[in-house]
């Protein structure tokens, strides 16, 4: 299987007032197409920063990042936004659904950036909701859904525009065990049956077990690689 994400000598330095904090140091990493990678490590180790760089939410201070053959480290803000819209799906710890929109309308959001008409957007959103098992909750607002259901709506939103890459930041961090297992099972299905490449940041070793392998970060450096069955 080919490489989807290529990271070469990437460093990231944040400026906090007068202080410079080096969050990532000379990272080299390849993520294969169709991989399900878990990123683990203590708080402040740079997991989320690495995830943000892979997802095109942030740019590295140094180094190169290519996703699907596109160098994203030197794209400007506008080009990066366009690239994200068609290539990446995002799943957050706190779901980040828009509270005033129904599940259906939340899922439709990424499709507003496409040329699809209203009817097609609605149809695609309905398919995505069906895929996550929430077809019957399409008209519900986020506050009318449980945490697990909200996260599944967020997953539907992430996959509705059929991106190659899904980046998940602690997707089960706010869920009870059962809901967490449902969400992780769903991610695994998306990876295994639909070929989505997934990069997931997690603190939870049990969550990491759903990934095909795990990388550990410590003080901005990759320290260990573990493969799962």
Partner 1 sequence: MKYLHLIWAALFRRKTRTILTLVSIVAAFLLFGLLDAVRVSFAEAGQSANGAERLQTGAKLSFIQPLPQSLMTRIATIDGVKEVAHANWFGGAYQDPHNQIFTFAVSDNYLDIYPEVSVDAGEMKAYNDDLNGILAGEVLIKKYGWKIGDKIPLQSQIFPNKEGSKNWSFNLRGVMKAKDDKAFQSQMIILHWKNFDETTPYNRGNVGWYISRVKDVNDADRVAKAIDALSANSDHETKTQTEQAATRNWIKQLANIGLIVTSIMGAVFFTLILLTGNTMMQAVRERTSELAVLKTIGFSNGSVLGMVLAESVLLLLLGGVIGLGLVAVISAGLPAMSGGMITTAAVSWKSWVLGVVLALAIGIVIGALPALRAMRLNIVDALAGR
Lookup: tokens for 162: 């059929």
Lookup: tokens for 221: 């450096």
Please report the sign of the dihedral spanned by the C-alpha atoms of residue 141, residue 143, residue 145, residue 150.
Answer: positive
- Nearest approach, Cβ of residue 211 and partner 1 (Å): 22
Closest to partner 1 by CB, 96 or 188: 96
- Nearest approach, Cβ of residue 229 and partner 1 (Å): 33
What is the C-alpha to C-alpha distance for residues 107 and 31, in angstroms, rounded to an integer? 27
Q: Residues interacting with partner 1, by CB under 8 A?
A: 48, 52, 55, 57-58, 77-78, 81-82, 84-86, 90, 92, 96, 98-101, 105, 109-110, 112-113, 118, 157
Residues in the chain: 229
- Nearest approach, Cβ of residue 58 and partner 1 (Å): 5
> Do the Cβ atoms of 110 and 157 come closer than 8 Å?
yes
Closest to partner 1 by CB, 93 or 214: 93
Closest to partner 1 by CB, 106 or 214: 106
Closest to partner 1 by CB, 32 or 126: 126
The residues that bridge with 71 in the sheet, in sequence order, are 66
Residue 121 has φ and ψ, to the nearest 5°, of: -60, -45
- Nearest approach, Cβ of residue 48 and partner 1 (Å): 8
């Amino acid at each position: 299987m080919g490489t989807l994400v290529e990271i070469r000598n990437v460093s990231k330095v944040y400026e906090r007032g007068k202080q410079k904090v080096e969050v990532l140091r000379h990272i080299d990493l390849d993520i294969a197409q169709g991989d399900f990678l878990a990123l683990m490590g203590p708080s402040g180790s740079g997991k989320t920063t690495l995830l943000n760089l892979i997802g095109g939410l942030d740019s590295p201070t140094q180094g190169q990042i290519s996703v699907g053959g596109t160098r994203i480290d030197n794209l400007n803000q506008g080009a990066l936004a366009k690239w994200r819209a068609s290539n990446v799906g995002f799943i957050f710890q706190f779901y980040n659904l828009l509270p005033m929109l129904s599940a259906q309308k939340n899922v439709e959001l990424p499709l507003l950036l496409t040329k699809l008409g209203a009817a097609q957007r609605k149809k695609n959103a309905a398919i995505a909701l069906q895929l996550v098992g929430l077809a019957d909750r399409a008209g519900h607002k986020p506050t009318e859904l449980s945490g697990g259901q909200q996260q599944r709506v967020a997953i539907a939103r992430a996959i509705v525009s059929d991106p190659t890459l899904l980046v998940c930041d602690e997707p089960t961090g706010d869920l009870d065990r059962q809901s967490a297992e449902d969400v992780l099972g769903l991610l695994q299905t998306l990876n295994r049956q639909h070929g989505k490449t997934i990069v997931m940041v997690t603190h939870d070793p049990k969550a990491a077990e759903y990934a095909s392998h795990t990388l550990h970060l410590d003080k901005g450096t990759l320290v260990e690689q573990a493969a799962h069955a």
